[in-house]
């Protein structure tokens, strides 16, 4: 009996440790929700025309057609806030999936050619069909992002070894380089294309319509569901292909599911707001120290912190350039670049 006591104590300690960890993660998730609510409030209240809390609440609950402030909140800030929530969540979840799938801490939506494919199709839409607004070429951006990602996966999975992280990363880098050259040629020859493309390519939440979000919302929701399904397989893939295969994981199915989720999330987000960078890179690195290697918890936290970061970037852009504004994509890049440098300096190796 005495010999069994240490074993019982050890088991009890492990159970208690797991319970404490779950409680900490749950409390942290609630804190992430509070951060997102604060970011939403700032997005509605702060800008070139800052509003007091009573005005914002009145605009949402009892709007007056005679109030300019109410019109600003309901017609301008509510749409960009809602779209910012959707885009931020999609990019953060997609970035978490990419880093887990490729085992590369520097992975973001640009790694698999998503941004490049969307940009090429937008340029073609402007050049061939004369489309000049994000609402007009939203489907072209989505189709381009999806086509580029599928092509990268097809190239990366060719051969006996299949879609290894290194092959996917190299295929995405090669495709991005080729598409960038094509875009440069098209932009050089068409000045009108440059002007229209420039407004979309910087990444912005302004001048976006809720109708576009409603059209792409099914794709975003499908991507979130697939991402949740991928959480457990990604935990196994993080242990290495051989061990994951030995535990019964279907590696091909897991990678196809994760890639499809990335296509849906990145394609829809890029179509809505343009190629916003670094949100998908930064969020996993913020989340990972708090939740560990569990992709389920990482995805849950990312769904809340991604929108918060993008909305804060949008608010900062309104403040620093008032009465004008800097696009959210530019501010997000300014925030993300130092983080990327820090990751490179602290990582012993980028695991592909």
> What span, in angstroms and rounded, lies between the C-alpha atoms of 271 and 283?
21
- Please state, as a whole number, how many other Cβ atoms lie within 10 Å of the Cβ of residue 293: 12
Contact 32, 291 (CB under 8 A): no
d(CA 245, CA 240): 9
Q: What pLDDT score was predicted for residue 155? A: 84
Domain-located, residue 24:
no
In a domain, 4, yes or no: no
DSSP letter (8 states) at residue 324: S
Q: Which residue carries 């070429």 as its tokens?
A: 137
Q: What is the CA radius of gyration of the chain?
A: 22
Residue-number span of the structural domain to which 248 is assigned? 32-346
152 and 172 Cβ atoms separated by less than 8 Å? yes
Dist. CA 22–CA 54, nearest whole Å: 38
Tell me the three state secondary structure of residue 74: helix
3-state SS class at 277: coil
Task: Quote the CA–CA distance of 162 and 250 in Å, as a whole number.
Answer: 13
pLDDT value of residue 13? 47
Copy the structure tokens of residue 329: 């994509």
pLDDT at 261 (0 to 100): 92
Q: Report residues of the chain scoring pLDDT below 50.
A: 5, 7-13, 349-352
The answer to the question of residue 230 being in a domain is yes
Q: Cα separation of 262 and 256, whole Å?
A: 10
DSSP state letter for 49 = S
Does residue 72 fall inside a structural domain? yes
209 within some domain? yes
Number of domains in the chain: 1
Q: What pLDDT, on the 0 to 100 scale, is given for residue 22? A: 85
pLDDT reported for residue 299: 96
Other Cβ atoms closer than 10 A to 248: 7
Q: What tokens does 95 get?
A: 């970035």
Span 251-286, pLDDT tens digits: 888 888 998 898 889 888 988 888 888 899 889 988
Domain membership flag for residue 10 = no
**Which CATH number goes with the domain that contains 334?**
1.10.3470.10
Residue 330 in domain? yes
Give dist(CA 352, CA 142) in Å, integer: 27
Q: What is the pLDDT of residue 209?
A: 84
Q: Residue 15, exposed/middle/buried by CB under 10 A (0-12, 13-18, 19+)?
A: exposed
Q: Is residue 352 part of a domain?
A: no
* pTM of the model as a whole: 0.87
Contact 274, 293 (CB under 8 A): no
**d(Cα 63, Cα 43) in Å, to the nearest integer?**
18
């Amino acid at each position: 009996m005495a010999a069994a006591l240490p074993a019982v104590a050890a088991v009890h300690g492990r159970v208690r440790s797991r319970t404490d960890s779950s409680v900490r993660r749950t409390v942290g998730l609630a804190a992430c929700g509070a951060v997102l609510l604060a970011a939403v409030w700032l997005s509605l209240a702060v800008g070139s025309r800052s509003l007091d809390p009573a005005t914002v609440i009145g605009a949402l609950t009892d709007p007056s057609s005679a109030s300019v402030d109410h019109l600003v909140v309901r017609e301008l800030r509510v749409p960009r806030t809602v779209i910012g929530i959707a885009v931020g969540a999609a990019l953060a979840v997609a970035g978490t999936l990419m880093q887990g799938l490729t085992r590369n801490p520097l992975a973001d939506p640009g790694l698999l050619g998503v941004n490049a494919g969307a940009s090429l199709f937008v340029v073609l839409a402007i050049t061939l069909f004369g489309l000049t607004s994000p609402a007009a070429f939203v489907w072209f951006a989505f189709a381009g992002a999806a086509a580029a990602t599928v092509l990268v996966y097809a190239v990366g999975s060719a051969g006996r070894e299949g879609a290894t992280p290194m092959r996917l990363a190299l295929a995405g880098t090669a495709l991005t380089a080729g598409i960038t050259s094509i875009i440069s040629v098209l932009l050089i020859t068409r000045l009108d294309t440059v002007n229209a493309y420039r407004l979309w390519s910087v990444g912005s939440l302004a001048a976006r319509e809720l109708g576009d979000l409603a059209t792409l919302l099914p794709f975003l929701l499908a991507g979130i569901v697939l991402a949740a399904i991928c959480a457990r397989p990604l935990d196994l893939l993080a242990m290495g292909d051989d061990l994951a295969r030995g535990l019964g994981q279907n590696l091909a199915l897991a990678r196809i599911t994760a890639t499809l989720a990335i296509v849906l999330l990145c394609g829809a987000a890029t179509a809505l707001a343009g190629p916003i960078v670094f949100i998908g890179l930064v969020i996993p690195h913020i989340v990972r120290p708090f939740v560990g290697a569990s992709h389920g918890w990482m995805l849950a936290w990312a769904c809340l912190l991604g929108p918060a970061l993008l909305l804060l970037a949008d608010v900062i852009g309104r403040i620093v350039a008032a009465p004008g504004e800097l696009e959210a994509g530019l501010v997000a890049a300014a925030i993300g670049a130092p983080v990327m440098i820090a990751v490179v300096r602290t990582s012993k190796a980028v695991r592909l």
